[in-house]
Amino acid sequence: MDLSQKLKAFVSSEKLTDTRSPADTAGADTNAWGGRQVSNAFGSCCLIETRYVLPHQHGTSQLYDVLGCASVGLEMLLREPRAASLDLSKTVFLDTETTGLAGGTGTYAFLVGFGFFAAREFVIRQYMMRDFPEELAMLECLHEELATVQTLVTFNGRSFDWPLLRDRFLLSRVHPPPIVELHLDLLAAARRLWRHELPSCSLQTLEKTILGVRREGDVPGAEVPQRYFAYLQSGDSTLLDDVLHHNTLDILSLAALYSALSKRGTASPKSLRWSSEAEGIARLHAEAGRHMTALRYYDRAIDLAADRKTLRRLLLAISFCYKRLDRFDRAEPIWHALMDDVPVCCEELAKYYEHRTKDLARALHAAEHGLRLAERLQPQASERFRHRISRLKRSTRSGAGLPG
């Protein structure tokens, strides 16, 4: 008999003699939340299930739109080729509410919510641990839920939610952590598109600016742990009403964000309304070696740029696309325009004149200008300029030409 079977046998035998089990004391909570009690060999926990008939409006989006999304958009934004063949029927949108925000082995996930599509509905299942002894029962339910899941969609879940659940499974020693083939964390994609445009890329900020969601009377995430501990002390189930609602909104917004990102990833340059969106997509195309496509998105980003700092960053990126295309006739004017602000442009000009046009005098001038700029703006780059200047001066004095 392995450890899992021994634990099940132990808990089952304990239930025969323990008349004070959580299931007996938490029935009122289950009814208050509109949920039901689910039991297994490890005890009981609460399950609250909510169904939304499609199309369901969430902010400016309809959840039905998710089913029609081309996941190829997320494939590019997340740089994950497997996302292109994602099967939504085996995909869940996951969010947790926890006893602490820092993570670690002392933090519990007391509420775990799943959202998934079934027929013409979007279903949200929320498993609630009404007290700490119910954790094993809840983990057993979670293991069953995740057994057939291929893809997990989260927001910051790669860094927080999933590692936390994985740790709870490991510490419980009931089951090994579930294996999910593909984990898509939408925070990474959101940052690629909007980090230069928005004050933050928190889910609440994205709701207001991208999804058109307005939360009213929502409990702040930082207060969630306090609410749970207050509930444990007082037994007042209403303290968690807002927490359940908060978790529900997070999952609905996660699905809506999936749709918004998928659409942005396949959008044409002209259809984009923010410079940062066009820039983020352009950068991904450039990283993949699609420099001509990247230039079209960078041009759109330039059209939408609102400040000099953004414009400078975009022009520099464009110049490197031209460099990769061996179009130095287009890159050189950009480097000249930026050489009083950006040390790397001086470095690129020095290399261009030294190796392409064989004009050592102009290469030396660009390098010396870059050194003065680097000493003021980027001291760590100064040594590179000094080394280049020294070599150029030796070549100029000796008349030996350029190094091989």
Answer yes or no: do 279 and 257 share one domain: no
Q: Who wins on pLDDT, 44 or 25?
A: 44
Asked whether residue 122 is domain-assigned, the answer is yes
Residue 399 backbone class (left: φ over 0; alpha: ψ -120 to 50; beta: rest): left
Q: Are residues 278 and 230 in the same domain?
A: no
CA angle at 328 for the pair 322 and 329, rounded to the nearest 5°: 110
Residue 120, Cβ density class (10 Å: 0-12 exposed, 13-18 middle, ≥19 buried): exposed
Write the CATH number for 119: 3.30.420.10
**pLDDT band, residue 402 (cuts 50/70/90):** very low
Choosing from 265, 297, 326, the residue where a domain stops is: 265
Q: Is 163 within the bounds of a domain?
A: yes
Domain count, the chain: 2
Residue 28: C-alpha distances to residues 232, 241, 310, 319 (Å): 14, 13, 57, 66
Q: In terms of domains, do 301 and 256 share one?
A: no
> Which residues constitute the domain of residue 243?
3-265
| Confidence check: pLDDT of 104 > 80 | no
pLDDT at position 202: 96
Average of pLDDT values for 238-267? 96
Decide if 258 contacts 75 (C-beta within 8 A): no
- CB of 138 closer than 8 Å to CB of 146: no
**Of 265, 280, 312, the domain-final residue:** 265
101 & 230 share domain: yes
Predicted confidence at residue 26, as pLDDT, reads 56
pLDDT of res. 27: 66
Structure tokens at 266: 């396949």
- Cβ neighbors of 304 (< 8 A, separation 6 or more) are 272, 273, 274, 275, 278
Domain with 315 in it: what CATH number? 1.25.40.10
Can you tell me the mean pLDDT for 116-123?
A: 94
State yes or no: pLDDT of 395 exceeds 60: yes
**Residues 248 and 354 both lie in one domain:** no
Return the pLDDT at 14.
39
Q: How far apart are CA 192 and CA 258, in angstroms?
A: 14
**Cα-based angle 339, 343, 349 (whole degrees, multiple of 5):** 60
Report residue 2 as tokens: 């392995």
* Whether 364 contacts 397, CB under 8 Å: no
Length of the chain in terms of residues written: 404
Relative orientation angle of helices 308-324 and 328-338, to the nearest 10 degrees: 150
- Average pLDDT of every residue of the chain: 90
Q: State residue 399's pLDDT score.
A: 65
Taking CA atoms, 75 is separated from 241, 276, 382, 383, 397, in Å, by: 37, 19, 39, 40, 54
Residues 238, 278 within the same domain = no
pLDDT tens-digit map of 48-75: 999 999 999 999 999 999 988 878 889 9
Does one domain contain both 199 and 288?
no
Read off the pLDDT of each residue in 83-101 and give the average, rounded to a whole number. Answer: 93
Residues 277, 244 within the same domain? no
pLDDT of 15? 37
Percentage with pLDDT > 70 across the chain: 92
The H helix count followed by the E strand count for the chain is: 18, 9
Band of residue 246 on the pLDDT scale cut at 50, 70, 90: very high
Q: Is 403 inside a domain boundary?
A: no
Of 232, 265, 298, at which residue does a domain stop? 265
283, part of any domain: yes
Q: What is the pLDDT of residue 119?
A: 87
Residue where the block lists tokens 């999804």: 211
Question: Which residues make beta-bridge pairs with 43?
Answer: 40
Is residue 126 a part of any domain in this protein? yes
Looking at residue 217, what is its pLDDT? 83
Each residue of 4-18: pLDDT tens digit? 554 444 344 433 333
The verdict on 84 and 119 lying in the same domain is yes
Cβ atoms of 226 and 35 within 8 Å: the answer is: no
Q: What is the pLDDT of residue 22?
A: 40
Tokens 């050489």 sit on residue: 339
| Residue at 404 is within a domain | no
Residue type, 149: V
Same domain, 137 and 240: yes
Same domain, 43 and 164: yes
Least confident of 21-25, 38-42, 68-72, 170-174: 21-25
Residue-wise DSSP of 262-321: HHHHT--GGG--SHHHHHHHHHHHHHTT-HHHHHHHHHHHHHH--SHHHHHHHHHHHHHH
pLDDT at residue 5, as a whole number: 53
Q: Residue 105: pLDDT band by 50, 70, 90 thresholds?
A: confident
Residues 210 and 301 in one domain: no
pLDDT at 101: 83
Task: Name which residue leads in pLDDT, 119 or 168.
Answer: 168
Rg (CA), the chain: 28
pLDDT recorded at residue 17:
33
Confidence of residue 356 (pLDDT cuts 50, 70, 90): very high
pLDDT (tens digit per residue) in 312-323: 999 999 999 999
| pLDDT at 404 exceeding the cut of 50 | no
Tokens representing 270 are: 């002209």
